[in-house]
Amino acid sequence: MTKWAEAPVGAPCWADLWTSDVEGSRRFYSRLFGWEAQEPDPGYGGYFMFTRQGAPIAGGMGSMGDMQANDTWKPFFCTHDIGTALEKAESAGGSIVAGAMPIDRLGSQAVVVDPTGATFGLWQPGQFHGFSATGEDGAPSWFELHTADHPVAVTFYREVLGAEFSAVGDTDQFRYWTFRSPGTGEDVGGIMDSGSWVAAGAAAWSVYWEVDDIEATAALVAELGGTVRRPPETTPYGKLAVMADPAGAEFRLRTSPGGRHQAPTGQ
């Protein structure tokens, strides 16, 4: 479990949901995780926040005009120089979907597609620093990229985020590298070589949410109209499961072993 006033540079600091069913998603996640859904803000295009124990934990947004929501969760990574990060992303083969945009005094955001096809966000904090807890019930637990282009992805995120990587497995049968922010002692995510089931250019980030009782949470997902895509499974890194909300947005659940924050290694 980790608490911070501000995420380290290069670490995930936020996640938001682009949903085709705003009201349904607000109800679903509030009941599932005990979050509180704040009201959509017309001044920010209808963007809304979920809070946990009074603190922001995730965001949400519906379709934007002709841009129809694709029902996905997207992680944001902390940077203190969003302009330079975007220049590095383009130089490393990424595509800028939305350039740096100031959000009042809260900070600046941008959206990027990496060279392997995965979408993620960058956040340069101002007054808003993102979520402040990980590894606790109802908080983020892990961030994981599945890609068919593992070497390309590692090179890209090392360049753009300054991430430091460690190989958990590095064979053709199992290739998984974890990453951390420079100078910190805790891994915050991983990159999985998923070439056997992820097509080239179709990579995607996954967000794991920590829960105290994964079996009960998975049952509640189904009760609330979501889908259990992969039931809870015991691994050396805790119990892991793959879910989808009623609109189809995929997310993952995790109950860490003994409350320890360790890499799920792509289960």
Which of 77-81, 145-149, 199-203, 211-215 shows the lowest mean pLDDT across its residues? 199-203
pLDDT at residue 267 above 60?
Answer: no
| pLDDT at residue 198, rounded to an integer | 84
Distances from the Cα of 9 to the Cα of 97, 118, 184, angstroms: 21, 20, 10
Where along the chain do its domains lie?
8-125, 137-259
pLDDT band for position 167 (cuts 50, 70, 90) = very high
For range 183-190, the mean pLDDT: 87
Exposure string (b/e) for 51-83, b if CB count within 10 Å is 16 or more? Answer: ebeeebbbbbbbeeeeeebebbbbbbbbbeebe
| In contact, 62 and 22? CB cutoff 8 Å | yes
Cα within 13 Å of Cα(97), Cβ side: 14
pLDDT band for position 208 (cuts 50, 70, 90) = very high
CA 77 to chain centre: 9
Residues whose CB is less than 8 angstroms from the CB of residue 64 and which lie 6 or more positions away in sequence, other chains included: 45
pLDDT at residue 259 above 60?
Answer: no
| In contact, 97 and 70? CB cutoff 8 Å | no
pLDDT at residue 261 above 70?
Answer: no
Read out DSSP for 99-113?
EEEEETTTEEEEEEE
> What's this model's pTM, rounded to 2 decimal places?
0.94
**Fold entry, domain 137-259:** 2,3-Dihydroxybiphenyl 1,2-Dioxygenase; domain 1 (3.10.180)
Residues whose CB is less than 8 angstroms from the CB of residue 250 and which lie 6 or more positions away in sequence, other chains included: 72, 73, 206, 229, 242, 243, 244
| DSSP secondary structure letter of residue 236 | T
Q: What is the mean pLDDT of the chain?
A: 93
CB atoms within 10 A of CB 246: 17
| pLDDT at residue 217, rounded to an integer | 98
For range 82-94, the mean pLDDT: 98
| pLDDT at residue 125, rounded to an integer | 97
Which residues face 32 on adjacent strands? none
| pLDDT at residue 264, rounded to an integer | 65
Q: What 3-state DSSP class applies to 218? A: helix
Out of 1.10.1040.10, 3.30.479.10, 3.10.180.10, 3.20.20.70, which CATH number does the structure's domain 8-125 have? 3.10.180.10
Q: Do domains 8-125 and 137-259 have the same CATH topology?
A: yes
Q: Tell me the per-residue pLDDT of 98-140, one tens digit each, with 9 for 90 and over.
A: 999 999 999 999 999 999 999 999 999 999 999 988 999 999 9
- Alpha-carbon distance of 253 to 238, in angstroms, equals 10
| pLDDT at residue 201, rounded to an integer | 77
